[in-house]
Structure 1
Amino acid sequence: MSDGEDSETVVRRERFAGGPARSFLSSMEFDDRLFEADLAVDRAHVVMLAEQDIIDTADAGAILDALDDVEHEGFEALPDGEDIHEAIETAVIERVGPEGGRMHTARSRNDEVAACLRYQYRAALLEAVDTVVAAREALCEVAEEHTETVMPGYTHLQPAQPTTVAHWALSYEAALARDTERLLDAFDRTNRSPLGSAAFAGTPFDVDRERTAELLGFESVLANSMDAVSARDFLVEGSAAFAGLATTLSGLAEDLVVFANKGFVELDDDYASTSSIMPQKKNPDTLELVRSTAGDAYGGLQGLLTTLKGLPRAYNRDLQNASPHAWRVADAVVEATDVAAGAVATAEWPAEDLEAAAGEGFSTATGVADLLAMHGIPFRTAHEVVATAAERGADYDALDSACEDVLGEGIDSLAEREAVEAALDPTASVASRDSAGGPAPEAVAETLAAALEGCEAHADAATARADSLAAAEEVLVEEVASYV
């Protein structure tokens, strides 16, 4: 290649190689994260071409050797170009000569790009699964430590019923477990190979699509070549899963911000900051940013969907602007997950203050109504009795007076005073709510055990997928070594 010749002139020669729109066409700004993916895709494709006698082994060896050099020198050493794929091809041709162009036999940038995106995006999904499982484990540790730590429970941000810190923590663990499932599902549909589809209409060469899929760790191939190169729904599914995860995190962050305001939780200094002017302040800044990450995720998903809307088959350059949305969403949400997990793991829960606040607003009213219903009073009538009592003081005497007015008899004719006093006590009220999934310590213990089993199962699922990818990478390395 002569001085000044770059990847554009190698791929397009003198046609469409310059002009004011050239920089506008470039995706190099976002392509550094595809460097390793493109090298892997190139290697698998070249090995397959040699195995199928589409190119000879000497050319394959020279190309693979050049790819090793490119990897060693790194992304920053690549020649200028329209995208990383052309830049790497140019770097190979610089080293091998014209025969290096055989690397692109029987493929297009369309299936090459699609394969690189899937290769890299599946790694992002597995990283997210690992991070979410770690967050769930942090919540389980909080639950295990605070199974009997009674705290206020709210609906509409109003005192509702007493619960426990463990019950609260496990409620978010359950939501994050479903987020994990969605990420794993997204991985499985991402992990399908488009390579060998060429531009969109296949190729006359005798390619082995299953072989390249195997070498790259893909579980299967996408059957229709037109669909294979144009489909970006895997990015939509993954981004939607990330957006759902961000929603869960936003709720968790909001709860912690509110709890910190009420003195119900003490955030570690590593997850808070002070005011630039008011030295007494301890602000939950990191959690406020976690909360706002949902907006970033929704915006990215909306941008991705809008970019894809109405695109005709098969490949259109609009797709170049689709993937940056997905990367930004993944990066932001994974980081927010890690921060939220750290904030939860290091927080302190003041048990005495929480217990003192747990009975505020007559939060045990439902428990008293339940007690009356257990003693034969229709629940709606019991509801009326307790509502009447709430206006008079929300204690035993108020309940007795309300029973006289509504039922014509005192409360002692319905239930023993000890049972009524227990129903009025937040700790005893929590202990009585032992239905499956409830806040009673025995019920929480069962939920916690199931949550820990779920964390282990999802961690194992992610590990199995990662091990499969690693095994394929080892096979690819061995195959490449046989040519170099």
Structure 2
Amino acid sequence: MTEGSESEGDVVRRDRFSGGPARGFLSSLAADERIFAADLAVDRAHVVMLAEQGIVGDDEAAAILSALDDVESAGFDALPEGEDVHAAIETAVVSRAGDVGGKMHTARSRNDEVATCIRYRLREDVLAAVEATVALREALAEVAEDHVDTVMPGYTHLQPAQPTTVAHYLLSYEQAVARDTARLFDAYARVNRSPLGAAAFAGTPFDVDRERTAELLGFDGVVSNSMDAVSTRDFLVEVVAALANLATTVSGLAEDLVGFSKDGVVELSDDYSSTSSIMPQKKNPDTLELVRATAGDAAAGLNGLLTTLKGLPRAYNRDLQTATPHAWESVDAVTEAVEVAAGAVATATWDEAALAEAAGEGFSTATGVADLLAMQGIPFRTAHELVAEAAEEGDDYAALDAAAEEVLGDSLSAYVEREAVEAALDPAASVAARDSAGGPAPDAVAGRLSAVEDSLAADADALATERDALASADEKRRAEVSQFD
């Protein structure tokens, strides 16, 4: 066949399987634009390897690679009709290069090809999600640094519990998001393995070099078992699970900020708020409400993915075509939600006076008083009973002294100086006393801020290293392809 004489019809299905009412049902082409660039990269790496192994001639490789350049220049929208992007690209290559274009698919299957393309593209998305978590943590840490001494109420069961600080509160989320960062990095390591060369599932008789294509595509190695390489989607589960956990973390932060906004102790920037269509006085935390809702989307994506994969027989099944969109939708939605949350945190204003006033509400320093009494040798349970008795009447020294007479049979001053009790009743002094590791005392928080700075720097460096590795592989692959010009 002469160059260009191949029909624009799908080269995979040919005439026998090219028609019928199920043709559109089978097609994933409309959703495949996301992996268009990935497929071109995988094609180029595969062709270079075929030439290096002597499976195709250098002139044949040059013709195929030239056709791939033309396909890339024309863009995704110019692809011929096909069952998926892989078949459409192959059809376009054969159309340009003639029969020799049909050699591009030598020693591989769409099964290992698509698995490789998914992993290739997903790496970028996971690193983008990592970057979003680092940015959120930076915002949390920067605001915390400005509010080490800003006392605020702390809650359990949505009831005033103990005073804390804005810094201590925000750093609690920084630590949680840091674990989300770590989970994404862990997942990335398992995504970053190449299935290419596994063929349909049983390998190939051709003398392929799987490590070479992995190198050209920037993978850290290969998925060794060929059946596992094409059939597993556990890397999708791991990524989506990490994203669902991240979305849940950020949903909690969003819920808190919505509540604090209602209470008037936090004001969100206009950039992260909206107004009512009918009530002109309203300033609504709409963006954070949508951030909160993203956790539901991510959980649904994880559930949909797991349900699709449950009970599949081994090796490739077409069900897997419907699994991948759960990952794309989750990573897009969660990454954007994290970015919005970071912006909202960075631009919010904390009302220090209102927070200080609210910090002592509900006798929130009661535990501090009980701890003080326990430090004087009174059994903690007795001290707990005493303070609980006082809480029925008030939250001042007089109420505590009366309770001491009732519970201990003596004045409170017989056990502890009044000045110490008055200090324990003060929210700021109560916070300052809680200087155990990880506590809210300014000195303890200052130490934590230093550790956070080191952690952020390490994660930023790790992110840069992974991105540099991908960029280096891209340059190497382009250089190898250029040898066939």
Report deviation, 1:77. Answer: 1.1
Per-residue CA shift, 1:340-363, capped at 9, x if unaligned? Answer: 000000000000000000000000
Report the counterpart of residue 378 of structure 2 in structure 1. 377
Per-residue CA shift, 1:135-177, capped at 9, x if unaligned? Answer: 0000000100000000000000000000000001000000000
Q: Which amino acid aligns with 1:342?
A: G
Report deviation, 1:71. Answer: 1.1
| Corresponding position: 1:229 with 2:230 | yes
Looking at structure 1, the residues matched to 210 and 23 of structure 2 have their Cα atoms a distance apart, in angstroms, of 33
Per-residue CA shift, 1:369-413, capped at 9, x if unaligned? Answer: 000000110000000010011111110011111001100111111
Looking at structure 1, the residues matched to 31 and 309 of structure 2 have their Cα atoms a distance apart, in angstroms, of 18
Looking at structure 2, the residues matched to 29 and 383 of structure 1 have their Cα atoms a distance apart, in angstroms, of 66
Report the counterpart of residue 308 of structure 2 in structure 1. 307
- Cα pair 2:4 2:96 within 8 Å, conserved: no
Report deviation, 1:3. Answer: 9.4
Question: Which structure 2 residues correspond to residues 402-413 of structure 1 after superposition, within 5 A?
Answer: 402-413=403-414
- Cα pair 1:7 1:86 within 8 Å, conserved: no
| Corresponding position: 1:74 with 2:75 | yes
| Corresponding position: 1:478 with 2:476 | no
Question: Which structure 2 residues correspond to residues 142-291 of structure 1 after superposition, within 5 A?
Answer: 142-291=143-292
Secondary structure of the corresponding residue to residue 163 of structure 2 = strand
Report deviation, 1:57. Answer: 0.1
Q: Which amino acid aligns with 2:8?
A: D
Secondary structure of the corresponding residue to residue 162 of structure 2 = strand
Looking at structure 1, the residues matched to 7 and 442 of structure 2 have their Cα atoms a distance apart, in angstroms, of 72
- Cα pair 2:240 2:327 within 8 Å, conserved: yes
Report deviation, 1:6. Answer: 3.1
Per-residue CA shift, 1:3-29, capped at 9, x if unaligned? Answer: 994342x22221211111101011012
Q: Which amino acid aligns with 2:39?
A: D
Looking at structure 2, the residues matched to 120 and 232 of structure 1 have their Cα atoms a distance apart, in angstroms, of 14
How big is the alpha-carbon RMSD for the aligned residues of Structure 1 and Structure 2?
A: 1.1
Report deviation, 1:205. Answer: 0.2
Question: Which structure 2 residues correspond to residues 47-62 of structure 1 after superposition, within 5 A?
Answer: 47-62=48-63
Report the counterpart of residue 26 of structure 1 in structure 2. 27
Partner residue of 2:8 out of 3, 6, 9 = 6
Question: Which structure 2 residues correspond to residues 125-144 of structure 1 after superposition, within 5 A?
Answer: 125-144=126-145
Looking at structure 1, the residues matched to 295 and 146 of structure 2 have their Cα atoms a distance apart, in angstroms, of 29
- Cα pair 1:7 1:82 within 8 Å, conserved: no
Per-residue CA shift, 1:284-335, capped at 9, x if unaligned? Answer: 1100100000000010111111111111111111000000011001110000
Secondary structure of the corresponding residue to residue 355 of structure 1 = helix
- Cα pair 1:6 1:81 within 8 Å, conserved: no
Looking at structure 2, the residues matched to 313 and 406 of structure 1 have their Cα atoms a distance apart, in angstroms, of 70
| Corresponding position: 1:425 with 2:426 | yes
Looking at structure 2, the residues matched to 184 and 47 of structure 1 have their Cα atoms a distance apart, in angstroms, of 30
Looking at structure 1, the residues matched to 7 and 378 of structure 2 have their Cα atoms a distance apart, in angstroms, of 90
Q: Percent identity?
A: 70
Secondary structure of the corresponding residue to residue 134 of structure 2 = helix
- Cα pair 2:33 2:85 within 8 Å, conserved: yes
Report the counterpart of residue 298 of structure 2 in structure 1. 297
Report the counterpart of residue 45 of structure 1 in structure 2. 46
Looking at structure 1, the residues matched to 5 and 29 of structure 2 have their Cα atoms a distance apart, in angstroms, of 21
Q: Which amino acid aligns with 1:54?
A: I
Looking at structure 2, the residues matched to 265 and 123 of structure 1 have their Cα atoms a distance apart, in angstroms, of 35
Looking at structure 2, the residues matched to 183 and 30 of structure 1 have their Cα atoms a distance apart, in angstroms, of 25
Report the counterpart of residue 357 of structure 2 in structure 1. 356
- Cα pair 2:5 2:98 within 8 Å, conserved: no
Report the counterpart of residue 90 of structure 1 in structure 2. 91
- Cα pair 2:7 2:95 within 8 Å, conserved: no
Looking at structure 2, the residues matched to 471 and 275 of structure 1 have their Cα atoms a distance apart, in angstroms, of 50
- Cα pair 2:6 2:94 within 8 Å, conserved: no
Looking at structure 2, the residues matched to 322 and 260 of structure 1 have their Cα atoms a distance apart, in angstroms, of 39
- Cα pair 2:268 2:285 within 8 Å, conserved: yes
Q: Which amino acid aligns with 2:300?
A: G
Report the counterpart of residue 121 of structure 1 in structure 2. 122
Secondary structure of the corresponding residue to residue 349 of structure 2 = coil
Looking at structure 1, the residues matched to 221 and 420 of structure 2 have their Cα atoms a distance apart, in angstroms, of 63
Per-residue CA shift, 1:204-250, capped at 9, x if unaligned? Answer: 00000000000001001111000000010000000000000000011
Per-residue CA shift, 1:117-147, capped at 9, x if unaligned? Answer: 0001111100100110000000000100000
Looking at structure 2, the residues matched to 178 and 418 of structure 1 have their Cα atoms a distance apart, in angstroms, of 42
Looking at structure 2, the residues matched to 4 and 96 of structure 1 have their Cα atoms a distance apart, in angstroms, of 9
Looking at structure 1, the residues matched to 84 and 8 of structure 2 have their Cα atoms a distance apart, in angstroms, of 12
Looking at structure 2, the residues matched to 72 and 7 of structure 1 have their Cα atoms a distance apart, in angstroms, of 21
Looking at structure 1, the residues matched to 30 and 371 of structure 2 have their Cα atoms a distance apart, in angstroms, of 63
**TM-score (structure 1 length as normaliser):** 0.99
- Cα pair 2:6 2:99 within 8 Å, conserved: no
Looking at structure 1, the residues matched to 218 and 5 of structure 2 have their Cα atoms a distance apart, in angstroms, of 39
Secondary structure of the corresponding residue to residue 12 of structure 1 = coil
- Cα pair 2:231 2:314 within 8 Å, conserved: yes
Report the counterpart of residue 397 of structure 2 in structure 1. 396
- Cα pair 2:4 2:95 within 8 Å, conserved: no
Looking at structure 1, the residues matched to 351 and 144 of structure 2 have their Cα atoms a distance apart, in angstroms, of 14
- Cα pair 2:176 2:249 within 8 Å, conserved: yes
Secondary structure of the corresponding residue to residue 160 of structure 1 = strand
In the alignment, structure 2 segments of 5+ residues that lack a partner are: none
**TM-score (structure 2 length as normaliser):** 0.98
Looking at structure 2, the residues matched to 247 and 131 of structure 1 have their Cα atoms a distance apart, in angstroms, of 15
Looking at structure 2, the residues matched to 444 and 196 of structure 1 have their Cα atoms a distance apart, in angstroms, of 52
Looking at structure 2, the residues matched to 415 and 73 of structure 1 have their Cα atoms a distance apart, in angstroms, of 83
Report the counterpart of residue 101 of structure 2 in structure 1. 100
Report deviation, 1:91. Answer: 1.0
In the alignment, structure 1 segments of 5+ residues that lack a partner are: none
Secondary structure of the corresponding residue to residue 317 of structure 1 = coil
Which stretch shifts more, 362-371 or 77-86? 77-86
Looking at structure 2, the residues matched to 353 and 124 of structure 1 have their Cα atoms a distance apart, in angstroms, of 41
Q: Which amino acid aligns with 1:250?
A: S
Report the counterpart of residue 17 of structure 2 in structure 1. 16
Report deviation, 1:270. Answer: 0.6
Q: Which amino acid aligns with 1:321?
A: T
